[in-house]
Amino acid sequence: MKISIILDFICPYCFVGEKILEKALKEKNITPEFKFLPYELCPEPKPQAVVNEAGKIYFEKNIVEWANSENILINFPTINPKPRTALAFEGLYIAEKYNKGIEYIREVLDAYWVLNQDIGSIDVLTKIAKKLTLPEDEFYNALNSRVFKDKHYKFNLEVSDYDFDVVPTFYIDDVQLENFPRKIETWLQILN
C-alpha cells in the first residue's frame, strides 16, 4: 500500500490529520510506503502569515476540540510570523535518502505543533536530523547551501497543479480520497 500526502508543516489540519492516520496504521499494523507532496501555504515571495488573536480563537474552537476528541496533543504556536517551510521540505529530501521520511515529517510537525519551535530555522531542523541519526553535517550543509532549493521549488509548483482543494489531501495507491478522514474510525474503515 502506498499513501501519498499533500501537506504543509504549518497547517494544523495536516498535523492532526497525520496523527490520526498514524494511530490508525498502528492499530491495523500496516506499514505503507509513503510519498510526501509539498504544498507551501506561504511560499516566497508571498508575505508570511502572522499569528493573531483571531487565529488563536479559531484554533481553540476548531482545531483543539477536534484534536482532543482524537486524544491528540496540540498547542497554539506563537512564532510570529509563521515560519516558511521550504527549508523543512528541503530537509525531507535528505531524510528520504536514508529511508526516514515519515519519521522526519512527524518530528517536524511535532516540533512546530507541540514544542512551538521555529521550523524555518536550520538549527532546529538540524537538531531533528540529529535525533533521527541522519548525518548531521550532510543535513546542515545541504540546507545551508540550499542544494535542494531548485528541486523543491519545481516540485512545489508541480504539486500546485494537482487537482485538490485542501491540505492535507491523501491518496491511497494514487487514488485521491474525496475528503480527508477526520476520525480514526474512518481511517480504519478505509484501511480494511
Res 19: pLDDT: 98
Q: Report the pLDDT value the prediction gives residue 185, as an integer from 0 to 100.
A: 97
> Which pLDDT value is given to residue 29?
98
Report the pLDDT value the prediction gives residue 83, as an integer from 0 to 100. Answer: 97
Type of residue found at 8? D
E strand segments, 8-65: 33-38
Task: Give the residues of the chain that fall short of pLDDT 70.
Answer: none
Supply the pLDDT for residue 91. Answer: 98
Q: Are 43 and 156 in contact (CB under 8 A)?
A: yes
Q: In the prediction, which pLDDT does 141 show?
A: 98
Residue in the block written with cell 510537525 = 109
pLDDT digits (tens, 9 = 90+) for 85-96: 999 999 999 999
pTM: 0.96
Residue 3: name the closest of 39, 34, 36 by CA.
Answer: 34
